[in-house]
Amino acid sequence: MLKRIALPLIATVACAGGAFKDQARDAMPSKQAISMGSPPSQPQASSTSGSSTIAQNSTAGDRSQFHDLTVAVAVVFNVPTAAFLDLLRHVVEDYDPTSCDATSCTWGPGSDPLSRVDYKLVVSRDADGVSFDWALSGAVKPGTNFIVFASGVATPGPQRNHGSGKFKIDFDEAANLAIFGDPAQDKQATGSMDVTAYSNVGPAKLEVTFMGARDDKQPTQRNNILYTYANDTTGGGDLDFAMHNTTTGDRFSVHSRWKNDGRGRADVAGLGSGYDISLSECWGPAPFIVTYFSSSLKIVVSPWGGPDSGAKTQCAYSPAAFSPKSP
């Protein structure tokens, strides 16, 4: 799908407004600017490498499941987002626009012969005189009714691939074009992902609201998800995410913090039909062995419950800091 969007926007007409064209190219968001960080990771390690002072009949001493979950959450966000942003950069950097004036440039409309959709990207100067507004739209051939399914505002930073801004991808609008999954197989992406703020000018930060996302295990169910990520000046990070299954009513949140050397802590809360639980897990540097575990559920229900184990003094962060988010 991404290649089919990129090919269409090859320009065939040289245009004026070269200065604006170059400015617009530099301003467009990049995967370097919009990336959710996570703790260092490595292949699954044996739990026998845990400290001999930790009781081996408890969660402490095992591989940290919430370290791995934090890494997985970042990957799930970063991979498709990076692919989409690479597409935008590819279009504006590798091809000339079809038309330009002093304050805007348009790439397309167009498509490769095998694509059922024509695409168009419009970049214009924002009213603040510094930022750039952009909108990506599509129309099912041979029609000309273009539907905007992604748009944003980008502010260039002091150097290439650095900047700030916001953008939104509306998967429900894109469903009219069938470009994010196959609706016939009930695999079409749903809802809207709103990156309400991003910046990698200084320590990176990112705020995301994803409403109405299709559940990956139960396609008929929908989730609202909130993410907040912030890097720190020492190379550590803070990832706070919360999910609300609007079909079942279940809620789940994880607030993870980690140091540059990989040590970290996750404070987790879950609320649903028949359960209300909170837990904290701390882990050490690679191979990321649990050093402390405490759960409001003391019976063993992996990964949620079990007796307290390890020591709070081994935590890289203290005290607990549960997510305040409620999507």
Q: Which domain does 27 fall in, by range?
A: 2-314
Half-sphere exposure of 84 (CA within 13 A, CB side): 20
- Residue 323 within a domain: no
Residue 294: strand pairing partners: 280
Task: List the one residue out of 74, 84, 70 whose CA is nearest residue 35.
Answer: 74
Task: List the one residue out of 252, 243, 155, 150 whose CA is nearest residue 197.
Answer: 155
| Residue given tokens 């038309």 in the structure block | 99
Ramachandran sector of residue 183 (left: φ over 0; alpha: ψ -120 to 50; beta: rest): alpha
- Residue 192 within a domain: yes
The pLDDT tens digits along the chain (327 residues) read 554 444 444 333 333 446 788 888 888 888 888 889 899 886 544 333 333 333 333 378 899 999 999 999 999 999 889 888 887 887 788 788 999 988 999 999 987 788 888 989 999 999 999 999 999 999 999 999 999 999 999 998 888 878 999 999 999 999 898 888 766 656 778 999 999 999 999 899 999 999 999 988 898 999 999 999 999 888 899 999 999 999 999 999 999 999 999 999 999 999 887 778 999 999 999 999 999 999 998 876 666 778 899 999 999 999 999 999 988
- Residue 109 within a domain: yes
Cis peptide before 40 (omega within 30 of 0): no
At 182 the pLDDT is 67
Phi, psi of 242 (to 5 degrees): -140, 145
Handedness of CA 57, 58, 61, 67 (dihedral sign): positive
- Residue 300 within a domain: yes
At 301 the pLDDT is 67
At 183 the pLDDT is 61
- Residue 319 within a domain: no
Amino acid at 312: K
Give the integer Cα–Cα distance in Å for 233 and 89: 28
At 13 the pLDDT is 34
Q: What angle do CA 145, 148, 151 make, to 5 degrees?
A: 160
Question: How far lies 86's CA from each of 50, 78, 89, 90, 91, in Å?
Answer: 41, 12, 5, 6, 9
At 49 the pLDDT is 34
At 209 the pLDDT is 96
- Residue 324 within a domain: no
Residue 155: strand pairing partners: 164
Helices vs. strands in the chain: H and E counts, helices first = 4, 15
Handedness of CA 247, 248, 249, 252 (dihedral sign): negative
- Residue 16 within a domain: yes
Number of domains the chain is built from: 1
The DSSP code for 63 is: B
At 151 the pLDDT is 97
- Residue 321 within a domain: no
